[in-house]
Chain A
Amino acid sequence: MSELDLTLVDSAVERIGTSREKVLELLQAIQGKFGYLPTEALERLCELTEITPASIAGVSTFYNQFRHRPAGKYTINVCIGTACHVKGAEQVYDAFLRHLEIPQGQDTDSQRLFTVDRIACLGCCTLAPAVQIGRVTYGHVTGDSVARIIDDFLNQEKARAARPVRKRTLLGDEAAGRGEIRIGLGSCCVARGSGKLKEALDAALSTTGIEVPVKRVGCVGMCYQTPLLEVVLPGRESFLYAQVEPGDAKAIVLRHFKPPRLTKRISNVVSTALDNIVANKGTETVTRHSINVREGHVADFLGKQAHIATEHCGVIDPVDLDEYLGKGGFEALRKCVSELDAEQIISEIETSGLRGRGGAGFPTHLKWSAVRSQESPDKYIVCNGDEGDPGAFMDRMLMESYPFRILEGMAIAARAVGAETGYLYIRAEYPLAVERVNKAIEICNERNLLGEHIFGSDFSLSLKIVPGAGAFVCGEETALMASIEGRRGMPRLRPPYPAESGLWDKPTLINNVETYAVVPWIIRNGAAQFANLGTGNSKGTKVFALAGKVACGGLIEVPMGISIREIVQDIGGGVGGGLRFKAVQVGGPSGGCVPAELADTPVDYETLKDVGAMMGSGGLVVLDETDCMVDIARYFLEFTQNQSCGRCTFCRVGTRRMLDILERLCAGEGKKTDIDELEHLARIIKASSLCGLGKTAPNPVLSTIKYFRSEYEAHIEKRCPTGKCRALITYSVTDDCIGCTLCAQHCPVNAIEFRPYEKHQIDTEKCIRCGTCRNICPADSVKVE
């Protein structure tokens, strides 16, 4: 083994510090240097800091992010979030292992180039199945496309190494009055190529000599249309282009802007003409993508929405403070600092009826008053950005797109409860969110919107990001605080609640990202206006991540009380592909499945609970008739079981036993008593687990048993009615086969013999039921039973 350069540890310690709570940050730094956590480095860390071996061993094995074995040069993270799962993530994962010839039980190829890992959720649900390699995200991956993806990635890496980094900053005022081009640069957009598009735009502008600012904006929400590009011309309606490719950039520019000099103009005409000839496409290829906001599905998509947390979506540059200020940003904070006292702020929040957006829906003002009433010189404020629910990406979008709004909301809350120090705990899987929030904090500190004596008042607030390290359970507030303190993220018994005894035993206010994000709006527009939206006990709006089997997935913000049908049919455009809408999974691993029959259920905290689901943090995964509900239940139990902290018996062992039963059912080894046994375990686990994760873990099982009992019974009889459970199905070729050989060419395990012009056959012994043949067959002649 090669000698490790342990001075890297020394320098990390020097930079980060030696105290106990730095352990996560230090481990992240060490892993950043070595690619894993070598024991020698950890021992060195013990020597240099006050962190004990027990703490390092405990912490470094608790969080998914940390590796104890060397990894390949690049890590392929296959997302197994809900939306990806229902679209075949497991097959994608298997395909990567097969393609890279990684033996069973291992995760890295023999050349140590790639490590293949499953990741809980990348939060790119509209791109499902999604895969992240390095910092590149690939969407709509199939087992068949993994080879191309790996090639593409390696080519990109080669090109990146060869290309000098060139950046051109365009300031907002640079070309004032000329209009601007807006391009979505949320993670989803980037994954769908908006980064390349931006490069192409920059290139187009520099060759044409046109000077118009290209502005990156946060998530527009219409993820199904990305990359989106909007051309805004002063005094005229704007033009929105969807699914734009880099090759379209120049044509779009020339359509709306005139080059400055005649010669340029002429050469542009010529070159565009040439382009068109070479590429054999006319200008309609561009207009093909052009969509009008007032028409069709876009109007539907946006029409029912109400933007509060996502105010100015697709309009503002996430980290342009002046723009945020120009649109009323920080007015609310100014008002709270100079006009309102703490009681008045809290009373305003009370009037608004705001409830926690993290899932449980606890009235926000009660939390705030509880912290405010504590007599302690030190109080903390925490923003829970550890959005770990598979199938949810609201908080990521909010943090990537509106970091100032979240900071402003936190500042108002801090003012109200009397806290002067705060943390934003953000999932490590969200690097862009960390980057943008960090940048926003930096800017606010410079501009005295954070830091000492904000607006010249006696109010000071210092905010800091703590990146998580991959543990869903850290979304539970007591676990999150343990994690900030540098411990294993284990929930503890409540009471005492964080309001009494939180971070370092001090009173602590902890709210979710979205909760903070709506606070400035409430203060600015008045609580009454917020309370006007929504239902009796659920006021305002809720941001949802709409994904799964829906035509128009994306990030949406809707008034509370809207029905599931409106969300799925009107906003989401219904289930695509002529399939029947079956159910919608609401609230992730704590939530449940609401069947199509109950689609008129209004979305609010109480009603969702009544039908066996839960608001959760707001993931909505639409399922169609091809989705197996037993598999969905198994999927969620597997998730919770993987993410259980392991503290209490009911969650650690109880959910494991539930999963055992579900695995048996999906493998065709179910017993008659299994449904009863699942219900029995579920009841006990719900009643007696220590924390919310355990108490809600059985929900996906209970709700699917409640609404889809016959599917469970079918599995006991060794049938999977939807043909999802691999152990219960066989693939065969029908007489419709035209002998085209495509299936034989694409079968990853050579289970189909190559027989041109003859009917093909599938060797069921070899078949791995990956579905490649079925997807590729032009004659629809592959049957699953």
Chain B
Amino acid sequence: MSSRTLLISIAVAIIVIAGLATVFYHPGSGKSTSSQTSTPVASQTTSALPSSKSAPATTRTSTAPSPGSASKEIHLPIGVLVDESGPTSDVGRDYAKGVMAAIKYFNKKGIYTKDGVRVYLDAVERDYAYNPSRAVEFYKEFRDKYHVVAIVGWGTADTEKLANQTAHDKILYISASYSAELVHKPYNFFPAPDYSTQACAALTWITTKMKKAKLALLYDHEIAYSKSPIPAIKSYAKKEGIRIVADVNLPLAATGADAERAVTELLGSKPDFIWCGNTITSCALAAKYVAAYGLKSIMIVNVWGFDERFPRIAGRDIAGKVVGVSPWIWPEYAKDRPGYREVYEAARISGIPQKQVNLRFMQGFMNVWLLVKAIERTTSKELLIKKGEALKEALESSCHGDPIRLGDITPPMRFCPGNHLPFKTVYIVMYGKDDKFHFLGPIEPKGFDCAAATSG
């Protein structure tokens, strides 16, 4: 047989085998009629349960105590996507600790479906270093290797870009990104107002302090998270008569020199207020130079840019000159209230000292808690058959049914199909000259759909 004949034979064989395999082979489907090669939606609708061979998720008979008549327990595989080494690790590390502590806490305390079946969360954690491409790789690993039904995720760019895929794969996605772009995505949830609504609330607060104020914008012009609320800020500012006098780039991973350069760019415009849309390190460094250059402006910092550590990084000179936006009271200021107690209990179980429980830790805890709420609102049968879709429907049952509350941390939350904005209020957190944080509000923007201003 000549080489040419051999090659042609091989090529024909490849085409025939590939064609047959593509049409007839359905990996992992068992008796399912699903087809991985049919349209994506159909393939997921009937795809099989995670197999014990390839995934940690199993349903098994158990003698474990559980309320009700059920004797099974469900091990639910979930993905945890965090940034512990990238440019947002300054807030990502504590968030990741909160997520993992919450999983441990709820697994120990017991998660039960509506019909009393105990559910365990089997978490797979991945640090994607805030690289959206890595997030996509890990997403595929979660989906194809671990067959997760839910993901507790992190950043704006990756969550936004994966949103259509998660909807298609019917995987519930609870993110640390509160981007307005996610509000209308069917499988994306978060227990907070979106960034745009939060920013508009901050602008509402500005209007109570000053009429026709001058506002400067300071954020990373290349990062989706930092840019997310900017269209809403610009639209709402115009409506409220606030003048945008500067729009300056401040890198997310800013050094002192970057922050100083950015602040010096603002000097000429003499703003009354400065919006900082990055995470804590770069915003705190910018605040430090705002104080050092004697600017009279008040800096307003996005939710991920302001927490208990801010004065330690920026220095005490910023007292009275910086406020942060937060949809929730911070744990240190509500230790004994329902919801916050659970946060501290989770930390204790994981051996995390009380003083390390901060806003970021609580945010991680809250996202897992929201997932737990979804599980508690579904039945074991729905969970096993519809998986992520069941969890989504469970959360959306709050639209016309009982609202979801995470203790006293959040107000009653309602997630409606097509609109996952659970509430609109935020607190303005002022760092006072008494070295304490003061919570003003809650306040919310009136007469303007800020999420729509961003997501269109």
Decide whether A and B assemble into one complex.
no
